[in-house]
Amino acid sequence: MDIIFKPSKEIKVNIKEGQLGQISSPARIKKACEKEEVIAFDILYKDDLIGFAIFKKYDKGKFFLWNYAIDKDYQGMGLGKRSLTVLLSLMKKDYKATEISTSYIFGNEVAKGLYEKVGFVETDVVEEPDCHEVNMLLSL
Protein backbone atom coordinates (compact mmCIF):
# COMPACT_ATOMS: atom_id res chain seq x y z
CA MET A 1 0.00 0.00 0.00
CA ASP A 2 1.30 3.45 -0.80
CA ILE A 3 -0.28 5.20 2.24
CA ILE A 4 1.03 4.17 5.64
CA PHE A 5 0.53 5.46 9.16
CA LYS A 6 3.28 5.64 11.75
CA PRO A 7 2.72 6.44 15.41
CA SER A 8 3.63 10.04 16.15
CA LYS A 9 4.24 12.27 19.15
CA GLU A 10 3.97 15.64 17.38
CA ILE A 11 2.77 17.35 14.22
CA LYS A 12 5.58 17.76 11.67
CA VAL A 13 3.74 18.82 8.51
CA ASN A 14 3.70 22.34 7.08
CA ILE A 15 0.31 24.02 7.03
CA LYS A 16 -0.75 26.92 4.82
CA GLU A 17 -0.75 30.17 6.75
CA GLY A 18 -4.51 30.63 6.32
CA GLN A 19 -5.13 27.17 7.78
CA LEU A 20 -3.11 27.56 10.98
CA GLY A 21 -6.14 28.67 13.01
CA GLN A 22 -8.02 25.53 11.98
CA ILE A 23 -5.79 23.14 13.92
CA SER A 24 -4.35 23.11 17.42
CA SER A 25 -0.92 24.54 18.11
CA PRO A 26 2.07 22.20 17.77
CA ALA A 27 2.81 22.62 21.50
CA ARG A 28 -0.75 21.63 22.46
CA ILE A 29 -0.65 18.62 20.14
CA LYS A 30 2.72 17.49 21.51
CA LYS A 31 1.41 17.70 25.09
CA ALA A 32 -1.75 15.78 24.16
CA CYS A 33 0.31 13.01 22.56
CA GLU A 34 1.67 12.14 26.01
CA LYS A 35 -1.78 11.01 27.15
CA GLU A 36 -2.81 7.37 27.04
CA GLU A 37 -6.21 8.03 25.43
CA VAL A 38 -4.61 9.84 22.48
CA ILE A 39 -3.55 8.12 19.25
CA ALA A 40 -1.55 10.15 16.73
CA PHE A 41 -0.17 9.26 13.31
CA ASP A 42 2.20 10.63 10.74
CA ILE A 43 0.74 9.94 7.31
CA LEU A 44 3.21 8.85 4.65
CA TYR A 45 2.66 8.49 0.92
CA LYS A 46 5.42 6.79 -1.05
CA ASP A 47 7.72 7.37 1.95
CA ASP A 48 7.02 11.14 2.00
CA LEU A 49 5.47 12.71 5.09
CA ILE A 50 2.20 14.17 3.81
CA GLY A 51 -0.06 14.49 6.84
CA PHE A 52 -0.92 14.13 10.48
CA ALA A 53 -3.95 12.86 12.40
CA ILE A 54 -4.72 12.71 16.09
CA PHE A 55 -7.61 10.93 17.80
CA LYS A 56 -8.80 11.09 21.39
CA LYS A 57 -10.69 8.11 22.78
CA TYR A 58 -13.66 9.26 24.84
CA ASP A 59 -15.61 6.03 25.34
CA LYS A 60 -15.40 2.36 24.35
CA GLY A 61 -15.15 2.27 20.55
CA LYS A 62 -15.65 6.05 20.29
CA PHE A 63 -12.98 8.46 19.15
CA PHE A 64 -12.80 12.17 18.37
CA LEU A 65 -10.72 13.11 15.30
CA TRP A 66 -9.19 16.14 16.96
CA ASN A 67 -6.78 17.31 14.24
CA TYR A 68 -6.33 16.17 10.67
CA ALA A 69 -3.93 17.97 8.36
CA ILE A 70 -2.34 17.41 4.99
CA ASP A 71 0.98 19.13 4.27
CA LYS A 72 0.57 22.24 2.14
CA ASP A 73 2.70 20.71 -0.65
CA TYR A 74 0.33 17.72 -0.95
CA GLN A 75 -3.03 19.45 -0.80
CA GLY A 76 -5.38 19.38 -3.78
CA MET A 77 -4.16 15.97 -4.98
CA GLY A 78 -6.91 13.80 -3.47
CA LEU A 79 -4.54 12.51 -0.79
CA GLY A 80 -6.58 13.95 2.07
CA LYS A 81 -9.68 11.94 1.20
CA ARG A 82 -7.71 8.84 0.30
CA SER A 83 -5.65 8.96 3.51
CA LEU A 84 -8.69 9.62 5.70
CA THR A 85 -10.61 6.73 4.15
CA VAL A 86 -7.74 4.31 4.85
CA LEU A 87 -7.21 5.78 8.31
CA LEU A 88 -10.85 5.28 9.28
CA SER A 89 -10.62 1.63 8.20
CA LEU A 90 -7.48 1.25 10.30
CA MET A 91 -9.25 2.76 13.32
CA LYS A 92 -12.11 0.28 12.91
CA LYS A 93 -9.83 -2.73 12.45
CA ASP A 94 -6.96 -2.03 14.84
CA TYR A 95 -8.65 0.09 17.51
CA LYS A 96 -12.17 -1.38 17.35
CA ALA A 97 -13.66 2.06 16.60
CA THR A 98 -17.41 2.03 16.10
CA GLU A 99 -17.91 5.77 16.01
CA ILE A 100 -15.72 8.71 15.05
CA SER A 101 -16.75 12.28 15.73
CA THR A 102 -15.06 15.45 14.56
CA SER A 103 -15.72 19.14 14.12
CA TYR A 104 -14.71 21.91 11.77
CA ILE A 105 -14.78 25.67 12.03
CA PHE A 106 -17.98 27.03 10.47
CA GLY A 107 -17.21 28.28 6.98
CA ASN A 108 -14.36 25.84 6.32
CA GLU A 109 -15.96 24.33 3.23
CA VAL A 110 -12.87 22.24 2.40
CA ALA A 111 -13.06 20.38 5.72
CA LYS A 112 -16.84 20.08 5.47
CA GLY A 113 -16.60 18.59 1.97
CA LEU A 114 -13.84 16.17 2.92
CA TYR A 115 -15.67 14.86 5.97
CA GLU A 116 -18.94 14.49 4.06
CA LYS A 117 -17.19 12.60 1.23
CA VAL A 118 -15.99 9.92 3.66
CA GLY A 119 -19.38 9.59 5.34
CA PHE A 120 -19.52 12.02 8.26
CA VAL A 121 -22.87 13.71 8.87
CA GLU A 122 -23.52 16.99 10.64
CA THR A 123 -25.02 16.60 14.10
CA ASP A 124 -25.14 20.14 15.48
CA VAL A 125 -23.59 23.59 15.43
CA VAL A 126 -21.87 25.16 18.43
CA GLU A 127 -22.32 28.92 18.52
CA GLU A 128 -20.62 30.65 21.41
CA PRO A 129 -18.81 34.02 21.60
CA ASP A 130 -15.39 32.48 20.81
CA CYS A 131 -16.53 29.34 19.02
CA HIS A 132 -18.52 28.62 15.87
CA GLU A 133 -17.97 24.97 15.04
CA VAL A 134 -19.93 22.25 13.31
CA ASN A 135 -19.93 18.80 14.93
CA MET A 136 -20.00 15.70 12.72
CA LEU A 137 -20.32 11.96 13.32
CA LEU A 138 -19.43 8.80 11.42
CA SER A 139 -20.68 5.36 12.44
CA LEU A 140 -18.34 2.58 11.38
Domain boundaries along the sequence of the chain: 3-139
Question: In CATH, what number does 3-139 get?
Answer: 3.40.630.30
For the chain, the helix, strand and coil percentages under 3-state DSSP, each to the nearest 5: 30, 40, 30
Distance CA 16, CA 122 (A): 26
- Amino acid found at 42: D
What confidence score (pLDDT) does residue 17 get?
Answer: 76
* DSSP state string for 46-99: TTEEEEEEEEEEEETTEEEEEEEEE-GGGTTSSHHHHHHHHHHHHHHHHH---E
What confidence score (pLDDT) does residue 52 get?
Answer: 95
Look up the pTM and report it: 0.90
CB 73 within 8 Å of CB 80: no
Q: Per-residue pLDDT for the chain (140 aa), expressed as one digit of tens each? A: 689 999 999 999 988 777 756 778 889 999 999 999 999 999 999 999 999 999 999 999 999 999 999 999 999 899 999 999 999 999 999 999 999 999 998 888 889 999 999 999 999 988 877 777 899 999 99
What confidence score (pLDDT) does residue 1 get?
Answer: 62
What confidence score (pLDDT) does residue 20 get?
Answer: 58
Contacts of 114 (CB under 8 A, 6+ apart): 80, 81, 84
